[in-house]
Amino acid sequence: MTNYAAVPVLPASYTWNDLEVIPVPYLRASVSAAAQLLSAPPAFLGYQQATTQSVPDATFTGISLDTEAWDSVNGHDGAANPSRYWNQFAGYYLAQFSCGVDYTGGAGIAAAAIGFSPENGSVTWYGGGCIPNGASSGHYATPQACKLLEMTSPGPLGGAGVDYALGGLYQSSGAAQDTWYDVAAGQYPQFGITWVSALAGTTGLAVPANPAWPVPPDYITSSFMNTNVTDAIAFLVYPPVMEATYTTGTATCASVTSLPTVGTTVPLNSATYDTWSAFSTSTHTWTAPVAGVYFCYGQSALTGVSTSESMAAGLTVTSSNYNGGTQTTLWQGVTDMNPGSSSVATVARRLRLNAGDTVLLAAAQRDSGSNAATLQAGEFASRLITLWRSA
């Protein structure tokens, strides 16, 4: 319960007319409310730094957080439900989690996940990074996960009908294993969640330009107010937000000997969320609707075979800001695959994009027998997330 403030409210929206008096309560309801929400949106960041936790074999387990770095609206109850963040303000949220496993025996996998419980009901787990457990001392598997969540039901901590989210760990070493942390090295389980958008709003607006205000004797016109107050606030509380996934099919990823300039496109075929209608399920392409800095996260999920060796996830970008405008894949790096089971590689970047630039999710994998790998769906699925963050 640290660093928390009053829960914000969504700004009111007004259409201004010429020769209209601008009442102070109207500005408070729109400008002041927007400043409160956007300068300190609902957000939480928590760690596990005091006590390790036993995670049973082959079971998604919510990870308890004993240290709060930030909890802006007091959504985390460290005493009663130390793994859960309870919805205090409706909206789209970006949830991120990473956790290490204190095991280096080499058997099985470690996977990070985001759990979501709508209205305090059953938890659905969304698998993220999935990598082999380390086989030598000090090589602790530490996967990460990222998920966009639509949280619609706020309320008291632990209340009936209130949404909550949490980070979870899955490991299949064959026995229970403890979580791992090294506080001195800055490595420990951590879960963060941040409000990024209202649930509904106006699309097609321009990115706020922040022009100079009229100087007397010039007047503030209704056009100026509508463009630079009403529309600017509307854009900032409802920016472009998108998540697409691969839900079903028979797609594969061919084996390569090194990371290619352009990776194999993951045929994402379902737009889970797409507030500005910017994703095409037919071309599997997300097109930036406006210019700005975007947070982009991708995960490529493959099923390994006995000869699988390594894989990577990337973002295939077509933009004049990268590679002279020629399409290229920005890779996160290579990770080992899990022969015969799930493998998920992740990539996260902030990209400066122009309106009309495109991003696709890419995958690459290497197989000693040159075999293709099958793309997964279901609990561990390929996913692409894009969020407008700044002009």
Whether 131 and 335 have beta carbons less than 8 Å apart is answered as yes
What is the DSSP-derived secondary structure letter of residue 37? H
Rounded CA gap, 92 and 148, in Å?
A: 7
* Residue 378 vs residues 22, 91, 125, 254, 303: alpha-carbon distances, Å: 53, 25, 10, 21, 12
Euclidean distance between CA atoms 380 and 222, whole angstroms:
51
What are the tokens at 189?
Answer: 């389980």
Which domains occur in the chain, in start order?
A: 43-197 (2.60.120.40), 241-390 (2.60.120.40)
Report pLDDT for 1: 44
pLDDT for residue 2 is more than 60: no
Share of the chain above pLDDT 70, in %: 99
Which residues, 6 or more positions from 231, have their beta carbon under 8 angstroms from its beta carbon?
202, 205, 206, 208
So what's the pLDDT on residue 85? 98
Q: Output phi, psi for 310, to 5 deg.
A: -150, 165
pLDDT tens digits for range 166-191: 999 999 999 999 999 999 998 999 99
pLDDT of residue 5: 60
Structure confidence by residue, pLDDT tens digits, 35-59: 999 999 999 999 999 999 999 999 9
Average pLDDT over residues 245-253: 93
DSSP state of 25: H
- Give the Cα separation of 110 and 142 in Å (integer): 7
Cα–Cα dist 44/193, whole Å: 5
